[in-house]
Every structure is written in structure tokens, then in C-alpha cells.
Amino acid sequence: MMNDATGVDEPHYWDALYRNNQDGWDMGTPTPVFVDLLKSRRFEPGKTLVLGCGKGHDAVLFAQHGFPVTAIDFSAEAIKHTRSLAQKQGVSLALVQEDIFDYSLGISEEFDYVVEYVTYCAIDPSRRAEFASVVPSLMKPAGRFIGLFFPLDNRPGGPPFAVSMDEVNRLFGKKLELVSVEVPERSVTPRKGKEMLTVWRKL
């Protein structure tokens, strides 16, 4: 991948990576952290938005646990893969091919849950404050934001661009209350110790 923010805000950048099998961030399975979270039955099913759904593994996982899911990605290739996976797994999803920043202009306080993993680290870091403002605007009062943040390191360039929990707390804490934060017990090996599971409640 390119080692700067050039192109990351354009869908064709990501479409090309998917078509050329350069989507190394995709694990081919649901995120273990979300698998464990849903098995714990910590959350009752509710209307859920999965941001930057990629190939749809996590969106399908939430749908399999009874959550009415909307999966959004501005990459046509990502949406194609998500649609195919949902059909194979026999689950129903609402699919939205749109930039989350544009989508949020027409949607307000609609979701019980917003789920984030490796979208925050993929956008141009200059847009992180905007992203942190968009998320609560999509949530119902007292809705939950489930954010799994990665990579917590000091890597240069990106994507993925390095994430600081100090920055996360400062940006998201303006409109959301941090309910819990924990180092996941189970992460894929290359990401172990470099990600943090957070749950926030809309103020």
C-alpha cells in the first residue's frame, strides 16, 4: 500500500486493492474479538451499522446473532464481496455503497449500535475529528458505539495509520461516554497487543 494518505479517501483506491488481491488487512474470517463479544450476550440485538464493512465478515456475524445490520462501504468491490458472503451464509443485510461522511448527512439517530474496526485507521488522519463527530450523529439516544481500535503503535505512514488511545478518548469523548475499555483476550496473532476494545454510550 501507499505509505501516505494519498488516495485513501477515494473508493477507486480500495477497489484496486481488492481486485489485485492486496487486501492484506482482510483476515478471511470474522474478527475474534467480536465473536467473543457476541457469544457473551453482553448486548441485546438492535439496529446496527457496521462501518467500512470490507468483505462483510463482521456484518454477517452480527446478523447471524439476530442484529438487523446495515453494512456500509464506499468500495463497490467491498459491497460485492459482502453481498456474496451474506447470500452464502443465508443472512439478510442492508447494503449501502456510500462514503460514510456523505451518508451521515441524510441519516440521524437511527442506530442502536455503530461498529468500527479498521476504518478509523484507514481514513486520512486529518479527518479523524470529523469521523468522531459523525459516529454519534448516527446513534439513537443512549445508543452504543463499539470501537475496536488498531494499530496502537508508532508506525510511520499508512494505511493503516497509527492510532493513539489518547487521541481516541479526546475525540470521541466530546459526544460519547466511555463505558468500558479492555485489551482483547483473543486477537489474530499479528494484531495481538496492538488493539483495544472500547464501548461508548451516547450522551
| Residue 3 belongs to some domain of the structure | no
Task: Give residue 2's pLDDT band: very low, low, confident or very high (50, 70, 90).
Answer: very low
- Our count of domains for the chain comes to 1
| Residue 169 belongs to some domain of the structure | yes
CATH code: domain of residue 92: 3.40.50.150
Long-range contacts of 124-131 (CB under 8 A, 24+ apart): 124/5, 124/8, 124/9, 125/5, 125/158, 125/161, 126/5, 127/9, 127/101, 128/167, 128/171, 129/171, 130/101, 131/100, 131/101, 131/171
**For the whole model, what pTM was predicted?**
0.94
| Residue 164 belongs to some domain of the structure | yes
Helix (H) or strand (E) holding 198: strand 196-202
| Residue 4 belongs to some domain of the structure | no
125: cis peptide before it, omega within 30°? no
Task: Give residue 6's pLDDT band: very low, low, confident or very high (50, 70, 90).
Answer: low
| Residue 26 belongs to some domain of the structure | no
Structure confidence by residue, pLDDT tens digits, 179-190: 999 999 888 888
**Smallest Cα–Cα separation from 22: which of 72, 71, 76, 77?**
77
| Residue 190 belongs to some domain of the structure | yes
* Mean pLDDT, residues 158-176 taken together: 97
The residue range of the domain holding 84 is 11-18+32-202
